[in-house]
Chains A and B, each alone.
Chain A
């Protein structure tokens, strides 16, 4: 079974803090994604990566950056957290060009005070 894990289920941070959200997949998948999910706004793509050290902006990259130093790990960074970044963050991985199925991690509920 594909397993995608995220570093925390719940996280509380203060405005201005630097926040790291980590995602690890154990199936040697090439593609990895970071989404945020908010009521009424659905699932929105923040960043994605097709390979190590490669990244592409999604639909809402402002205020976020990412890092992919190893194939299995994709990190989302909030350089200076703001209250409007309070959300559920979901990581997903995907085999690569042969399939479009995405496997999601359990999510991190981030609250910025």
Chain B
């Protein structure tokens, strides 16, 4: 079992829809969770971080964390073609640990 698993893609949604990206992790002690976005041919950039159970909203993006289920998700509301990218889930054992484990990524395509 991989340490961080993401739902297999690719994922395609129409413009304006909600895109849902999912991630599960195996180490129950993990405490820091991140979503990075990577455009084709570019390097990853952080879009959301979450540390506590529940929802965290930032504009059209909402990260959801459920530590009991070892599950973290990213919702993108009102999806735009510019959201088309690969989304990487990353998990760190504890805040400040530095070293993160990344999932393989889910490729999202938003169709106009």
A contacts, CB < 8 Å to B:
31, 33, 35, 40-45, 48, 50, 58, 90, 94, 96-107
- B24 in the interface, Cβ–Cβ < 8 Å? no
CB distance from B37 to the nearest CB of A (A): 11
B contacts, CB < 8 Å to A:
32, 34, 42-46, 49, 88, 90, 92, 95-105
A101-B34, A102-B46 given as contacts; is B100 within 8 A of A42 (CB)?
Answer: no
Q: List the B side residues contacting A43 at CB < 8 Å.
A: 44, 88, 102, 105
Closest to B104 in A: A42
Extra contacts, 4 of them, besides A105-B43, A106-B43 (Cβ < 8 A), are A42-B88, A48-B98, A100-B34, A101-B49
A42-B105, A43-B88 given as contacts; is B44 within 8 A of A100 (CB)?
Answer: no
Closest to A107 in B: B43
Q: List the B side residues contacting A94 at CB < 8 Å.
A: 98
Contact: B95 with A41, CB < 8 Å?
no
Closest to A39 in B: B104
Q: List the A side residues contacting B46 at CB < 8 Å.
A: 101-103
CB distance from A18 to the nearest CB of B (A): 25
